[in-house]
Amino acid sequence: MTEPSLSPSKSDAQLLLHQYGYDQKQFWREPASVFFTVAMPLIFLFLFSSIFGDKSVNVDGHTVRTTTYLVPGIVTLAAVSATIVNLAITFTILREKGLLKRVRSTPLPPWVYLGGRVLTATALTVIMVVALTVLGRLFYGVAIPTSTLPGLVLTLLIGTAACCTLGFALTSLIPSEGAAPAITNAVILPLYFFSGIFIPEDNLPSGMKFVGSLFPVRHLFRSYFAAFDPATTGPGIAWGHLAVLLAWGAVGGVIAVRTFRWTPRGS
């Protein structure tokens, strides 16, 4: 693994942008990461929309087209995949291979290295939100948020920040490189169903809805859905759900600061 070269004359901002560019190249050269983070949400959108696209669902007492419900749901899946899933798996593997330890011993400031990864996760989230929104409009007639754009942007920013801290925090629960994908997916996949991403909340048992309401994925989805819901009035900001995301982000940040490791567990 070759780290980006450092120059004493570079400012912190230049170092961060340099690291971000390096991380971007590294991500797009990894087929597995590209498939699960970029291709899989697109496949899910076409798959579910092709099966259920001509139907409607009841949400919060009114009816919306299934595709209007699915687009923010798949956006949520893509955002979680680009942040929590990607960061938890990647950093656990880097840690257990000893690569994080090597980075820690270089002149590169640790915050720049972590910041580059966060910027990459943010950029991927933006790309997926735009791509899924445009595809939803072109192929399924889902309205592009205009008056509710402030809610969409605010959800993207707060949701990405919260999910990144949770991704770093999740690494503390993963003991080994081989366990990273299994544990991460075991935590996240059930939450997609409990949060109503694939199955509308009105069709979920009350117990599942209650469990889903305890975790951030549902609140991220509901925040995105508010921006796409035709019944939404105003700027589309779901303040209550965003407040829960902020709380989860704060908890994740505290856990990450206290438990994040740069060295393998066995060292």
Please provide the DSSP assignment of the chain as one string: -PPPP--TT--HHHHHHHHHHHHHHHHHT-HHHHIIIIIHHHHHHHHHHHHHTT-EEEETTEEEEHHHHHHHHHHHHHHHIIIIIHHHHHHHHHHHTTHHHHHHTSSS-HHHHHHHHHHHHHHHHHHHHHHHHHHHHHHH-PPPPSTTHHHHHHHHHHHHHHHHHHHHHHGGG--STTHHHHHHHHHHHHHHHHTTSSS-GGGS-HHHHHHHHTSHHHHHHHHHHHHH-TT--TT---HHHHHHHHHHHHHHHHHHHHH--SS-TT-
Whether 66 is covered by a domain: the verdict is: yes
Q: What sign for the dihedral angle of Cα 125, 159, 235, 61?
A: positive
pLDDT at 54: 74
Location of structure tokens 């790309």: 127
Does 130 reside within a domain?
yes
Q: Would you say residue 3 lies in a domain? A: no
N- to C-terminal Cα separation, the chain: 20
As a whole number, mean pLDDT of residues 251-257 equals: 97
264 or 203: which leads in pLDDT = 264
Per-residue pLDDT reduced to its tens digit, 121-152: 999 999 999 999 999 999 999 999 999 999 99
- What percent of the chain has a predicted confidence (pLDDT) above 90? 82
* 228 part of a folded domain: yes
Domain count for the chain: 1
Give percent of the chain above pLDDT 70. 96
For residue 173, pLDDT over 70 is answered with: yes
What is the pTM for the complete model shown? 0.93
Which residues are bridge partners to 57 per DSSP? 64
CB atoms within 10 A of CB 233: 8
Mean pLDDT of 251-260: 96
**91 part of a folded domain:** yes
Question: Is 107 part of a structural domain of the chain?
Answer: yes
Residue 265 lies in a domain: no
Looking at 50-54, 172-176, 178-182, 187-191, which range is the least confident one?
Answer: 50-54
Q: Which residues make beta-bridge pairs with 62?
A: 59
Average pLDDT, the chain: 92
Please say whether the beta carbons of 262 and 100 come within 8 A.
Answer: yes
| CA gap 1, 20 in Å, rounded | 15
* 6 pLDDT above the threshold of 80: no
State yes or no: pLDDT of 41 exceeds 70. yes
Does position 2 have pLDDT exceeding 90, yes or no?
A: no
Model confidence at 3: pLDDT above 90 = no
Lowest-confidence pick of 5-19, 51-65, 77-91, 106-120: 5-19
pLDDT range class, residue 13, cuts 50, 70, 90: confident
Distance CA 221, CA 156 (A): 11
Range of the domain at 195: 12-259
pLDDT at 12 (0 to 100): 82
| 6 within some domain | no
